[in-house]
Structure 1
Amino acid sequence: MDTLEARVSYEFFKQLLLLLLLMAPLPPSSSEFTVVMPDSSALVDAPQTGFSDSARTDPAEQRAVYEIMEATGNGWATSIPDVCRGRWHGIECMPDTNDVYHVVSLSFGALSDDTAFPTCDPARSSLSPALLALPHLRSLFFYRCFTGSPQPVPAFLGRLGPTLRSLVLRENANTGPIPAELGNLTSLRVLDLHGNHLSSSVPPSLQLLRNLQLLDLSHNQLYGPVPELNLPSLTVMDLSRNLLHGRIPTSFGRWDSLVKMDLSRNRFSGSIPDSLCDLQNLVLLDLSHNRLAGPLPRSLGGLRSLTALILTGNPMSSAMIPKDAFAGLAALNTLILSNMGLQGSIPESIGELGSLRVLHLDGNKLNGSIPKSFQKLQKLTELRVNDNQLMGPIPIGREMLWKMGKKLRLYNNSGLCYDMSYGRYEGIESMSGISYCETESKDAASARSHTTKHYLSSTSRDGGHGRPSSLSSSGAARKLHLAQEELVDLIAPLLVSLLVFL
């Protein structure tokens, strides 16, 4: 995982963890994917620290659990006389007011060595219709259970009843369509079908899931346009890595609770809907690697909570970046606009994004100079403007260069260079792909009367691959002398400090 993906993943899971904590008033579930919610049934919604001597599991539910466990290759469960009293990691039960225990959660699959629900026999596991005999079921979780025997998502899951809050079928190699019957689960908060081989359109029946808070259909083979949906409670939506096409529905901009929207790596076309800019709580917006056309919405600044905006790989070849497109994005720390064919100059307003840490503008047709306002980006740790048509001195001081190191990429431009007035920085040509500016101040020139010719410019590279050519022998001598001067600059303050304390 590269730096950007790690940072985006961290921000997303931080928000998701907060969401789950707010959603679950019961004791924490044993799975990050499983959310168990209270309902208005006769169950006693309180932590159970012990069992009544007379309480027993509902007999019909006990038989159903035996069948479900047998269908997943866990026949050992039949040796347990009472599945709620002798419960295992992966089954949760709650009593009713008559001291009868009911199954409310079933989970299968080893998430890690520390979190292992009953594993499935991949060669013969299946989802048993006996699930329908669990009328109080709130959470159903299967992880990597059917990989050896791929099968469709059964339509009978749509009859699990009004108590179900969380349905997770994750990385199970499920095939075929998303059953339209899932729209009957009107109390559902979490629907996670990530990482399967589902191949259908997104069913319009999902419109009925008005209480849904997390929808993850990513990493499948879904195709076709996405229907207009009205999911007012949705907080996380991930449709990434599918074959979805058509325009992004404008209804997505009406989900005021949305924190994350990831539509990356599909085939969406048209322009970015202005309605998306009304999502005041949105933290991450990833529309990368689609076929979206320009121009960029001028109202992007309305996304006040946005921390990551990723649009890379969309062919906006005739678009320019509006001067005020990002004004107001005070929380933004990641802005990725790579390989979009953007033209014109870099707006000064980007330099006003004081929280910015990662900025990628590489692989476009941007010209002019890097704005002087970039001097204000004191938190910047990664900057890519390579493969453009930029020229002139970079407005970045020596300390910032040192902090970014090889995460600063400037090569393959018309004539970017480093201004020595910011202080000498040996090795910049190999680190970022540019050399010193040709014109230096008179003071700098007189201070280095030994100076030989400057390093090669950024447009003269070995083989045209963005790497500077090797230095001449006189250049090597200059390099050694500058290194000696750097050493003196480093040691002198230490000696002064020592004398003060003595």
Structure 2
Amino acid sequence: MMKTFNINSRVILVLCIMSLGIWCYGEEDYNDAVPMEEGEKTALYSAIQGFVGNWWNGSDLYPDPCGWTPVQGVSCDLFDGLWYVTALSIGPILDNYLDCAPIVEFRPQLFELKHLKSLTFFSCFVSPHEHPIIIPSKNWEKLAGNLETLEFRSNPGLIGKVPSSFGSLIRLQSLVLLENGLTGELPRNVGNLTKLKRLVLAANWFYGRIPDNFGGLNELLILDLSRNLLSGSLPLTLGGLNSLLKLDLSNNQLVGSLPTVMCYMKNLTLLDLRNNRFSGGLTKSLQEMYSLEEMALSNNPIGGDLQGLEWHSLQNLVVLDLSNMGLTGEIPESIAELKRLRFLGLRGNRLTGNLSPKLATLPCVSALYLDGNNLTGELKFSGWFYGKMGRRFGAWNNPNLCYPVGLMSTGHAPYGVKPCQQEVSLVEASTNSKLGDGNFNQNSRLMASLGFPSYVIDGFWRFYLVQVFMMVQLLNLSL
């Protein structure tokens, strides 16, 4: 039995040694058989040094950026038995990142990375006054065969115009130029990048009109042109973006009516047109955008009323913000049929009429702002509703709106709304009022105690009632 154990243990030991040898041989063979192409390595190191400084030489990477100790932001893949760079991210994105130097440059070696699929710069060019940098206008066509993602995020020191050579990147699926210092008109040749699925040009200084040919980006899922200085009306060609999921044009200077062709965006879940200058009322085509989850049109002089739309058609709405739009008329009860609605903003309009208590039955609502209108009558929501909502129920600045006095005892009265006045049960005439022999003050108090309302104790009716009262008194004495 002991001999068997010894034999087995020796066999296991031999197998372990053989496995270790194979593993070590495999590692050595891996490094020798699959090196990084030398020209690719030289180009990569030079390109990185242009952004982070010449102090960086990759000497701590074994055996190279594609080996066992890769640098964060560099990804590789095999082509013809050699490693090539497929993704390069510059800036503080991950640990061990490549942090940019104060003075940076785009070296031509960057465009020699012929298998590059993704190129990203995050918070790399940060000094618009001391060290501004311009995107190079040439050589982008060298990356056209493979580049699918190009992103410049949070680079205030990145100024100038978008180079026209971006139009040669025909395989591009994502173009993100977000929160930079770029200016000029929107690059029209971007409309030729028909493979684009995401186009984000937000938070720059772009001005002028939205190019018509943007409507030809049939595969586009996200279009974000917000926070710029764009002007003019919306091109009708945008109706052709029938794959679009999110459209954000907020915080610009766009004008004109909302185009009816928007109804063709059947897959749209986000429509954000806040803080522009749109006018002309709410188009009925909005009610055909059945997939909408967020509709934000606030701070536009659109005008019109809410009654013209069948709101119950938009059953997927979660956010509806129509504040400060100059809307008139009453709030339709059909809004109360939006069972997924969490946020309803109607503040700062000219809405009138009574509030339907059905609004309080919205099962998911967590914010309801109706302040700054001309709503009237008595609020008929429960104290529980006011307690749940707190100041997220906004009804203040509606001078003719009130709530029942009984809610005062619950401590859940709506903030900024006055209590409704109770009917007067005791009338006390002014001491300056006189009738006949000057005893009217006493008589009027007696009449009020008999149940006569105060509004009839005036003029002729005062005299008539006094005579009736005196006759009753004489009859009582005679009896």
What is the distance in 2 between the residues matched to 1:219 and 1:116? 28
2:19 corresponds in structure 1 to: none
TM-score with structure 1 length normalisation?
Answer: 0.73
Where does the alignment leave 5 or more consecutive residues of structure 2 unmatched?
1-28, 426-479
**Does 2:324 align with 1:339?**
yes
Once the 2 structures are TM-superposed, how far is the Cα of residue 418 of structure 1 from its aligned partner?
Answer: 1.9
TM-score with structure 2 length normalisation?
Answer: 0.76
1:435 corresponds in structure 2 to: 418
Is residue 74–residue 118 contact of structure 1 (8 Å, CA) maintained in 2? no
Deviations 1:306-354 (A, max 9, x none): 111111110124x222332423111111111111111111122211111
Once the 2 structures are TM-superposed, how far is the Cα of residue 241 of structure 1 from its aligned partner?
Answer: 0.6
What is the distance in 1 between the residues matched to 2:110 and 2:148? 14
Q: Please show how residues 382-393 of structure 1 align to structure 2 within 5 Å.
A: 382-393=367-378
* Residues 1:206 and 1:419: Cα distance change in structure 2 (over 3 Å): same
- Given candidates 119, 141, 147, the residue that maps to 1:164 is 147
Once the 2 structures are TM-superposed, how far is the Cα of residue 406 of structure 1 from its aligned partner?
Answer: 1.1
- Given candidates 154, 162, 185, the residue that maps to 1:178 is 162
Alignment RMSD: 2.1
Is residue 347–residue 371 contact of structure 2 (8 Å, CA) maintained in 1? yes
Is residue 242–residue 265 contact of structure 1 (8 Å, CA) maintained in 2? yes
Aligned residues: 386
**Does 2:132 align with 1:150?**
yes
What is the distance in 2 between the residues matched to 1:373 and 1:116? 56
* Residues 1:402 and 1:93: Cα distance change in structure 2 (over 3 Å): same
Deviations 1:196-215 (A, max 9, x none): 11111111101111111111
* Residues 1:56 and 1:74: Cα distance change in structure 2 (over 3 Å): farther
> Any idea what SS the aligned residue of 2:134 has?
coil
* Residues 1:394 and 1:222: Cα distance change in structure 2 (over 3 Å): same
Write out the 4+ residue segments of structure 1 that deviate beyond 3 Å after TM superposition: 50-53, 423-429
State the percentage of identical aligned residues. 35
Is residue 149–residue 172 contact of structure 2 (8 Å, CA) maintained in 1? yes
Q: Please show how residues 458-469 of structure 1 align to structure 2 within 5 Å.
A: none
Deviations 1:5-58 (A, max 9, x none): xxxxxxxxxxxxxxxxxxxxxxxxxxxxxxxxxxxxxxxxxxxxx945311111
What is the distance in 1 between the residues matched to 2:30 and 2:246? 41
What is the distance in 2 between the residues matched to 1:435 and 1:388? 15
**Does 2:40 align with 1:64?**
no
> Any idea what SS the aligned residue of 1:119 has?
coil
2:70 corresponds in structure 1 to: 87
1:212 corresponds in structure 2 to: 196
Is residue 260–residue 284 contact of structure 1 (8 Å, CA) maintained in 2? yes
Once the 2 structures are TM-superposed, how far is the Cα of residue 249 of structure 1 from its aligned partner?
Answer: 1.7
Once the 2 structures are TM-superposed, how far is the Cα of residue 437 of structure 1 from its aligned partner?
Answer: 2.6
What is the distance in 1 between the residues matched to 2:30 and 2:379? 71
> Any idea what SS the aligned residue of 1:252 has?
helix
- Given candidates 164, 168, 176, the residue that maps to 1:192 is 176
> Any idea what SS the aligned residue of 1:181 has?
helix
1:417 corresponds in structure 2 to: 402
**Does 2:118 align with 1:134?**
no
2:205 corresponds in structure 1 to: 221
1:298 corresponds in structure 2 to: 284
What is the distance in 2 between the residues matched to 1:332 and 1:158? 42
- Given candidates 93, 99, 107, the residue that maps to 1:119 is 99
What is the distance in 1 between the residues matched to 2:271 and 2:223? 10
Once the 2 structures are TM-superposed, how far is the Cα of residue 357 of structure 1 from its aligned partner?
Answer: 1.1
Q: Which amino acid in structure 2 is aligned with residue 213 of structure 1?
A: K
Q: Which amino acid in structure 1 is aligned with residue 66 of structure 2?
A: C
Once the 2 structures are TM-superposed, how far is the Cα of residue 268 of structure 1 from its aligned partner?
Answer: 0.4
* Residues 1:439 and 1:180: Cα distance change in structure 2 (over 3 Å): farther
1:307 corresponds in structure 2 to: 293
Deviations 1:147-198 (A, max 9, x none): 1322122123532222001001111221111112111111111111100111
What is the distance in 2 between the residues matched to 1:58 and 1:117? 23
Is residue 323–residue 348 contact of structure 1 (8 Å, CA) maintained in 2? no
2:238 corresponds in structure 1 to: 252
What is the distance in 1 between the residues matched to 2:30 and 2:342? 53
What is the distance in 1 between the residues matched to 2:70 and 2:134? 29
* Residues 1:56 and 1:90: Cα distance change in structure 2 (over 3 Å): same
Q: Which amino acid in structure 2 is aligned with residue 389 of structure 1?
A: N
> Any idea what SS the aligned residue of 1:195 has?
strand
